[in-house]
Structure 1
Amino acid sequence: MTYSPHQAAPSSPEEDERSYPLPPLPPGYFYADAPSYQLPFRESMYVVEMADPIDRYHYSVKSILCSEKTAFQSVVIADTYNHGVALYLDGVIQSAAHDEDLYHEMLVQPAMLLHEKPTDVLIIGGGEGATLREVLAHRTVRKAVMVDIDQQAVELCRRHLAEWHCGAFEDPRAEIHFQDGREFIAGDDRQYDVVIVDVVDMLDNGPAQRLYTRQFYELTKKRLRPGGILAIQGLEFSINHWKDHIALRRTLQTVFANVGSYHLNVPSFLCSWGFLIASDGSDALELISPLDIEGRISAKLDPDWLDHLNGELLHASFCNCKELKLYLSLPGPIVDDDDRYVRFPDIHEVDPTWERLRLVRDDG
């Protein structure tokens, strides 16, 4: 049961027994009854995520909304207890209802805010439609082209994740293609102001790996207008797992003059997640003040559009501890088309992990 803004919820037996008063809420907010369910600690359904060869994460779920195998990947959409409805591709969580807006705002909005007037935007991946949703929130956008390799997965998201895409697929400014992203860019002669890459992680030797290489970024740069900006989801970025992100950063630095790393905690990912933004002409976002960022938000977006991002959060997301600053400065190899994932020869060595690129291994 919910109540309209400014309307007090009637007291319940639980509230009557509470030994402390509920705190007052600001205008427009209200209390609502929590969902009533008992956690099934024994006979429960779980979605199991194989985070690496050692760790497995169990997400307790109320129900499985769909579970299908497409031509490219397995797709599971499940209603979890802690994170709401969540999308899993090949057993790896991609986004969840309780924080997908946080992830997608941080992926899309920095580049869109940094560009003076983005009119044409290209999205590689983003099958849920939430990346498209965030792009189309900008009034200056006249065309948003989304390219995803897996039409069946997109249709499942379109059917089950309506609260995420919010009808973005039906927006007349949206143009949807079902094709390999790299092949599309190679054959597309149009120019874009912003390109956003929102694809699955580099977990195997599948088609997504070719969207993280120097050659792909060189191809993408040719599709950018002067002053254009590239934004990508940059894998986990924390003091425990940083090599993959920094390998991508080094790779981008061979192609673009300005590259910025930023990160924040995404609860459903169970870690700190990294993002990368690259350009030849735009100022670095970390040098723009929170007040200036707030001004750009006010000028470009409706006042109630963003749920999380503000000037302080975005500015702070570029700040790093001493250890991460050291890692960001380290030299090392880049991601190239010729690199392939190989498994660690000894699973018990220091820093065991999933199948990784040769170039981000300690032994080179």
Structure 2
Amino acid sequence: MNSLLMPALSGKSQKTRPYLLPELPPDRYYVEAPTPESLGNGSLIFIEDSDPFDRYTYRLRNILYSGKTAYQNVLIADTVNYGRALMLDGAIQSSQDDESLYHEVLVQPAMLRHPSPRDVLIIGGGEGATLREVLVHRSVKTATMVDLDQELVDLCREHMGTWHRGAFDDPRVRLVYEDGRQFMENDDARYDVVIIDVVDMLDNGPAQALYTRQFYELLKRRLRPEGIVAVQGLEFCFDDAAPHAALARTLRTVFAEVHSYSAAIPSFLSTWGFLIASDWFRPDEWTAHEVDATIQSKLGSQWLSHLTGDYLKSCFSLCKETKFMLSLPGPVIEDGVDLILPPHIEEVEKPYATFPIPG
């Protein structure tokens, strides 16, 4: 994806409210949204080319870092609407205001469902927030984080403290700066939970090696019998399900139980997909009450900002059209084979309804 930085345009100022604001709990406070005037004429717009036809724009307050590591272009900036944000190769990866939602939804279903996760492997997750969500579990004895880009991790240590919250310095952590695929080929440790939080597979690039059947076969050999895998599952909605569906099909060639779920991530301007894979876990057999009881037992009531039993169950509830898209046969992601997705599917336009619709 390409990106542009350009001056922002000014707009109208905010009006005075003709009402009293309600009193908030002690741990909350109000923050006025900025106006274009308050930002001044020097503010910038970050433009993300989300696909060949559309662009997303983010207004920036200021830039903390803009440069290139050995592997990718990096921008760390304070945005107006989403707080501090990390952009890699022109695409937003994480933002301060909603990263807790993304990382709770990615990490906690697997960590909560496993009876007692002791040894956890994270591939990717350079900001440290995935690691943070793992380490909150008292049962964890070792957390191995593998990331290709040490320069990026160092930048995140410096500029993204609210993500990692010191997690990199926890004595249970082992940091490995290596290609994730190479690590899996050489590693002989066993893990209870594996979390894959790497960049999207774009245009059959290097990251695709972390999405293939052969990679998941390597990974499964490193799992203990009750092991669970959680995967960042790409943009995912009924109108854009093909890449996620290919990933789900690929996981199903290796694991007996593979389940898709999703959450709307505001800064991504999209619904985002996740997958949980194992040989035993079925989300429909895990009630909301059981989820809440597990959260209370393992984490207590204060840690999570978003996840509850009811909310997690809703994440696994997919619409009719999405289920149809996931049910279709199609390509599996393989080593050395370009992934060519099937054409977009359109529904034959239905005639205008006559109301009331006959029973």
After TM superposition, is the score higher than 0.5? yes
Cα deviation, 1:326-364, whole Å, max 9, x if unaligned, reads: 112111121111222xxxxxxxxxxxxxxxx3144459x
Distance, in Å, in 1 between the alignment partners of 2:317 and 2:34 is 40
The one-letter amino acid of 1:143's match is T
How many Å separate the matches in 1 of 2:54 and 2:34?
31
1:234-281: CA deviations, max 9, x gaps? Answer: 001112210000110011111000001000100000000000000012
For 1:313 and 1:41, the matched residues in 2 are separated by 40
Q: Deviations along 1:32-76, whole A, 9 cap, x unmatched?
A: 352655355976412121111111111110111101111111011
CA contact (8 A) 1:198 1:232 kept: yes
Query: Quick one: which amino acid aligns to residue 207 of structure 2?
Result: A
The match for 2:228 is 229
3-state SS of paired residue (2:36): coil
Select the residue among 269, 288, 291 that pairs with 1:293: 291
Deviation, 1:186, is: 0.9
Residues of 2 paired with 1:42 and 1:219: CA distance?
Answer: 53
Are residues 30 and 336 of structure 1, via their aligned partners in 2, closer, same or farther at CA, if it must alter by over 3 Å? closer
Letter in 2 for 1:89: L
Match of 2:238 in 1: 239
State the partner residue of 2:52: 53
* Deviation readout 1:112-137 (Å, 9 max, x if unpaired): 01100000000000000000000001
1:96 maps to 95
1:105 partner amino acid: E
Partner of 2:328: 330
Matches for 1:44-193 after TM superposition, within 5 Å? 44-193=43-192
> Matches of 1:89 and 1:338 in 2, distance apart?
25
> 1:236 touches 1:242 (CA, 8 Å); kept in 2?
yes
2:327 is aligned with what amino acid? S
Corresponding residue number in structure 2 for 1:311: 309
Pairs aligned (count): 331
Contact map agreement 1:60 1:80 (CA 8 A) in 2: yes
Q: Percent identity, aligned pairs only?
A: 56
Q: RMSD over aligned Cα, in angstroms?
A: 1.9
Deviates most, 246-255 or 196-205: 196-205
Q: Deviations over 1:129-185 (max 9, x none)?
A: 000000001000000000000010111111100111000000000100000001101
Bigger mean CA deviation after superposition, 147-156 or 200-209: 200-209
Q: Which residue identity lines up with residue 230 of structure 2 in the other structure? A: A
Specify whether residues 153 and 301 from structure 1 end up closer, same or farther in structure 2 by C-alpha distance, changes over 3 A only: same
Aligned to 1:358: 340
**Structure 1 counterpart of 2:318:** 320
Q: Do the aligned partners of 1:335 and 1:359 also contact (CA within 8 Å) in 2?
A: no
- Displacement of 1:284 in angstroms is 1.1
Counterparts in 2 of 1:244 and 1:159: CA distance versus 1, 3 Å = same
Q: Distance in 1 between matches of 2:241 and 2:34?
A: 40
Alpha carbons of 1:205 and 1:331: their partners in 2 closer, same or farther (altered >3 Å)?
A: closer
Unmatched tracts of structure 2, length 5 or more: 1-13, 346-359
| Number of the residue aligned with 2:257 | 258
- Distance (Å, rounded) in 2 between the aligned partners of 1:18 and 1:194: 50
Partner amino acid for 2:26? G
Q: In structure 2, how many angstroms separate the alpha carbons of the residues matched to 1:206 and 1:279?
A: 27
State the shift of 1:320 in Å.
1.1
Deviation at 1:28, TM superposition (A): 3.1
**1:23 and 2:22 are equivalent in the alignment:** yes
Q: C-alpha distance in 2, partners of 1:361/1:122?
A: 36
Structure-to-structure mapping, 1:201-212, within 5 angstroms: 201-212=200-211
**Alignment partners' CA distance in 2, 1:142 and 1:122:** 11
Tell me the distance in 2 between the aligned counterparts of 1:258 and 1:41. 53
Q: For the Cα contact (< 8 Å) 1:104–1:134, is it kept in 2? A: yes
Structure 2 length-normalised TM: 0.88
Q: Give TM-score, length-normalised by structure 1.
A: 0.87
SS at match of 1:358: coil
| Letter aligned with residue 105 of structure 2 | M
